[in-house]
Amino acid sequence: MSHSCDDRLMKGGVFMVNIPEMFGSMVFNDAIMRQRLPKDVYKSLTDTIQTGKMIDVSIANVVANAMKDWAVEKGATHYTHWFQPLTNMTAEKHDSFISPIGGDKVVMEFSGKELIKGESDASSFPSGGLRETCNARGYTAWDPSSYAFIKDGTLYIPTVFCSYTGDALDTKTPLLRSMDAISEQSLHILSLLGDNTASRVAASSGVEQEYFLINKEYYEQREDLLYTGRTLFGCPAPKNQQLEDHYYGPLKTKIGAFMAELDRELWELGITSKTKHNEVAPSQHELAPIFTTCNVAVDQNLIIMEMIKRVAERHGLVALLHEKPYATLNGSGKHNNWSIATDTGINLFSPGKNPASNTRFLIFLSAVIKAVDDYQDLLRLSVAIPGNDHRLGADEAPPAIVSIFLGDELEELIEAIVGDIDYQDKARRTMDLGVPSVPTFRYDSTDRNRTSPFAFTGNKFEFRMVGSSQNIAMSNIVLNTATAKVLKDFANELEGKSDIESAARALIKKTLKAHKRIIFNGNGYSKAWPIEAEKRGLLNLRTSVDALEYLTKEKNVALFTEFGVMSEVELHAREEIMYENYSNIIDIEAKTMVDMTNKRIIPAIEQYIGSLSAIARDKASVFGGSVGTELERAIVTRLSRLAHIAYDKAERLSLKAQESAAIKESDASAFSYKEKVVPLMRELRAAVDEAEGIVPADIWPLPSYGEMTMKQ
Ligand code: ADP
Ligand code: MG
């Protein structure tokens, strides 16, 4: 916190601060720009921000200087270009503002050049072969559409990151390109439908972030958490989420204090942290800000993840953002709520009161339906990281099959359109609970279906497959670009038609008919769904590795290159990076398991065996044959067997990991990890977890599931 403690009044653990005054105080936002920039500079900058046009270099110096003055007044001494390399994290390199002026003196300076462009010898970032280490030059370039902000005495400037040859080495560049694509294509369709009032269509995203909190003391005792972010061993606690008493439960005092501080940190940074609650699994929580344009939402989500971790530390906690920190407990996802809206304030996914006669809505709805059907593979791929493999298809998360939930009302409407049946828009029903003092209210037009990976929720789509640790850029890139593509094809069909309305109606009908198979309103968790999905010809890419090869399939290369979102070279590089990332993660997990087995788990089992043997020996020598030693024998026999299995599995695991690592081609290597290493990890774990169930807690070297999830 940048506040000192004494400028706030503490009342029952609550800081009394003027929230509206404090909100965004660390952001170089529109209000500050208006205040601090000359009128013409302000106008030119906001033009750039709103239209995505190129920034005029001449104004950069003025902006840089104003930014620096503002930042220095707020106590900043450094600035950094802040970017999103292909590591699933953010990167920064801090430079101070100081500049020598002779006479052993310095002034604080920041030039337009420094604002616009940064150069980094960034050869250690993944480039998937896009850059040789001998050609290490990489550039960062200012992204004026996301505000600069101050964190830890440093002015953060959101930037894109590319190679010397201009290839994107980050997630932001293609995201910005995809936002332009969907804007342009949406405007084209709108204009064909007779609406020429909008000048930009913005894709927006609202991200619900799930995470676990664990006591730092327990965290530090587990190498698996330290190295991999998830528990590689651990037998389930007697009580986990059976009673469903954690979901929306009252916040523990310590967690409440953590969340209150987190909110304030985020509010200072202009992030509209809005909703917070306990999630289904014990020690699992969720935070959601209010939606904003995709680009800013991505940046903000990255800050949110970092802040969750940092603030947790101040409370003696560690935040686990991994998709599956604990086997058998619910995993963590990230719901990406996505919509598109004009700069005149129209949400293009809003059905209005009469969806049946709302051609604009039906055009955009059918575009999304077709886009999701045509590019199921890419949506699946956008969430393909090893952590998510433990989640997708398990009981609590959407399956690995992509489908769309529309709700009964829209489903009925679509059936009517496809079957030429008369359809009457439904009047909104009112809920009356039969308790006179409780006000009546209206039903929503769609119920919730938690089991669907892609659900229409009133005026937005909620993509629920994203993993909790992931950057949401890729899923937005796919949604924006795929939808842009369909809109473009639609426009080609509508162009030049004399009766646009009937042409549009025919197009909607044709599209819905062809792509109805992707709509599924039933239970996505049911055993019957994968079978049904297969009949419908839908893809079921169970693991990340199965999905990765789709990135460079011809139709997908064609999609991304058509809109200049990613070049073929960039796509191949990304595929390479994703394979390598998969292999690296599994390799680290395997090595960690081997290490823990040999250095911690087997010695602990042996220790217990030793003490049981000593007891048996004592019994025999003190009591002779009159007291049996069958119990010791039974436990020792069972534990010896388990320890031996663990030892053998660890040996084989080590070997298979080495073999997989030695394979040169990144795809074959990743497949080998999936086929040969992952199953052995499961087998090793089973033996160790069984042993944990019978070794005394004070000998077992790792904190238990019960301790970690119940004692925050
Ligand atoms: P839930 O999924 O629990 O129903 P909400 O309806 O409150 O949650 O919305 C969750 C997220 O969706 C929030 O971040 C919210 O700001 C965002 N959201 C709401 N409307 C839109 C929209 N039109 N476009 C994108 N995101 C939206
Ligand atoms: Mg949601």
Q: Is the domain of 435 the same as that of 341? A: yes
Distance 650 CA to ligand 1 centre (A): 46
Q: How confident is the model at residue 448 (pLDDT cuts 50, 70, 90)?
A: low
Q: How confident is the model at residue 604 (pLDDT cuts 50, 70, 90)?
A: very high
Looking at the structure, tell me whether residues 231 and 138 fall in a common domain: no
Res 251: pLDDT: 82
Nearest CA to ligand 1 atom 14: 206
Pair 154, 209 in one domain? no
Q: What is the pLDDT of residues 668-688, one digit of tens each?
A: 999 999 999 999 999 999 999
Ligand 1 centroid vs 291 CA: distance in angstroms? 6
C-alpha to C-alpha distance for 199 and 343, rounded to whole angstroms: 7
Same domain, 539 and 602: no
Token pair recorded at residue 709: 């999830």
Structurally, the chain folds into a number of domains equal to: 3
Q: Which of 170, 186, 210 is the last residue of a domain?
A: 170
Structural domain range at position 466: 178-235+243-566
**137 vs 506, more confident:** 506
pLDDT in tens, 622-654: 998 899 999 999 999 999 999 999 999 999 999
Give Dmax (Cα) for the chain: 105
Pairing status of strand 284-289 against strand 273-278: antiparallel
Do 75 and 148 fall into the same domain? yes
The secondary structure of 623-675 as a DSSP string is HGGGS--HHHHHHHHHHHHHHHHHHHHHHHHHHHHHHHHH-SSHHHHHHHIII
Run of H or E including 150: strand 149-151
pLDDT reported for residue 53: 73
Alpha-carbon distance 168 to 126, whole Å?
Answer: 11
In a domain, 65, yes or no: yes
Closest ligand by atom to 461 CA: 1
pLDDT of res. 409: 86
C-beta separation of 529 from 399 below 8 A: yes
Q: Residues 100, 182: one domain?
A: no
Counting atoms of ligand 1 from 1, which one is nearest the CA of 339?
24
Cα separation, 423 vs 508, in Å, equals: 15
- What CA dihedral angle connects 6, 9, 14 and 17, to 10 degrees? -90
Which pLDDT score is estimated for 5? Answer: 43
For ligand 1, is residue 459 a contact (CB within 6 Å)?
A: yes
337 lines ligand 1 (CB under 6 A): yes
Higher-pLDDT residue of 222 and 254 is 222
Residue at which a domain ends, from 170, 187, 220: 170
Residue 462 lies in a domain: yes
Q: Does pLDDT of 449 surpass 50?
A: yes
Contacts of 490 (CB under 8 A, 6+ apart): 189, 363, 367, 507
The three-class DSSP label of residue 497 is coil
In a domain, 247, yes or no: yes
Dist. CA 98 → ligand 1 center (Å): 43
Q: pTM score, two decimals?
A: 0.94
Specify if 574 maps to a domain: no
pLDDT above 50 for 2: no
Q: How far is the CA of 290 from the centre of ligand 1 (A)?
A: 7
CATH number at residue 118: 3.10.20.70
Q: Mark whether 484 and 502 lie in a shared domain.
A: yes
C-beta of 208 in contact with ligand 1 (< 6 A)? yes
Which residues, other chains included, contact 298 with Cβ-Cβ below 8 Å and sequence gap of 6+?
Answer: 84, 171, 172, 175, 205, 471, 472, 473, 476
Q: Which residues pair with 455 in a beta bridge?
A: 405, 462
Residue 534 shares a structural domain with residue 593 = no
- Give the closest ligand to the alpha carbon of residue 271: 1
CA of 207 to the centre of ligand 1 (A): 8
Output the domain CATH number for residue 511.
Answer: 3.30.590.10
Residue 572 domain-assigned (yes or no): no
**Are 182 and 203 within 8 A, CB to CB?**
yes
Ion ligand 2: residues, Cβ under 5 Å: 208, 335
pLDDT in tens, 614-624: 999 999 999 98
User: Bigger pLDDT: 149 or 278?
Assistant: 149
Give distance in angstroms: CA of 461 to centre of ligand 2: 10
Cβ of 301 less than 6 Å from ligand 1:
no
Atom of ligand 1 nearest to the CA of 288: 14
Q: Is 142 helix (H, G, I), strand (E, B) or coil?
A: strand
Residue 614 lies in a domain: yes
Kindly identify the ligand whose nearest atom is closest to the C-alpha of 210.
2
Residues 569, 573, 576, CA angle at the centre, nearest 5°? 140
Domain endpoint, select from 536, 566, 596: 566
C-alpha 319/C-alpha 420 separation (Å) is: 53
Whether the per-residue pLDDT at 429 is higher than 80: the answer is no
How many whole angstroms from 514 Cα to the centroid of ligand 2?
Answer: 28
The encoded tokens of residue 589 equal: 């997990």
Instruction: Tell the residue number behind the tokens 């439960």, with chain if given.
Output: 249
More confident residue, 547 or 2: 547
Are 60 and 197 contained in the same domain? no
Residue 686 burial by Cβ neighbours in a 10 Å radius (0-12, 13-18, 19+): middle
- C-alpha to C-alpha distance for 129 and 576, rounded to whole angstroms: 8
Show the tokens assigned to 707.
């301790």
C-alpha to C-alpha distance for 459 and 358, rounded to whole angstroms: 13
Distances (CA, A) of 683 to 594, 653, 680, 686: 12, 10, 5, 5
Instruction: For ligand 1, say whether the CB of 206 is within 6 Å of any of its atoms.
Output: yes
Under the banding of pLDDT at 50, 70 and 90, the label for residue 132 is: low
**Is 573 a domain residue?**
no
| Residue 574 confidence (pLDDT) | 94
CA dist 232 and 653 (Å) reads 14
Whether residues 439 and 500 share a domain: the answer is yes
Dist CA 206 CA 675 (whole Å): 36
Looking at residue 599, which CATH number applies to its domain? 1.20.120.1560
Residue of 247, 290, 291, 454 to test ligand 1 pocket, by largest number of atoms within 8 Å of CB: 291
Q: Band of the pLDDT at 549, cuts 50, 70, 90?
A: very high
Q: Is the pLDDT of residue 188 over 80?
A: yes
**Spatial distance between the Cα atoms of 153 and 658, rounded to a whole number of angstroms:** 45
* Mean per-residue pLDDT, 581-607: 98
The CB of 704 under 6 Å from ligand 1? The reply is: no
Task: Please tell me the distance between residue 294's alpha carbon and the centre of ligand 1 in angstroms.
Answer: 13
Classify 203 as helix, strand or coil. Answer: strand
**Could you give the CA distance from residue 364 to residue 78 in angstroms, rounded to a whole number?**
45
pLDDT for res 15: 65
**Residue 351 per-residue DSSP state:** -
Question: Please, what is the angle between helix 294-314 and helix 253-268, to 10°?
Answer: 140
- pLDDT value at position 398? 81
Q: Examine residue 318 and state whether it is found in any structural domain, yes or no.
A: yes
CB 282 within 8 A of CB 295: no
pLDDT at 443: 59
Same domain, 537 and 443: yes
291 lines ligand 1 (CB under 6 A): yes
The residue with tokens 């842009």 is 484
Residues 144 and 224 in one domain: no
- SS3 (DSSP) at 233: coil
Question: How many residues appear in the chain?
Answer: 712
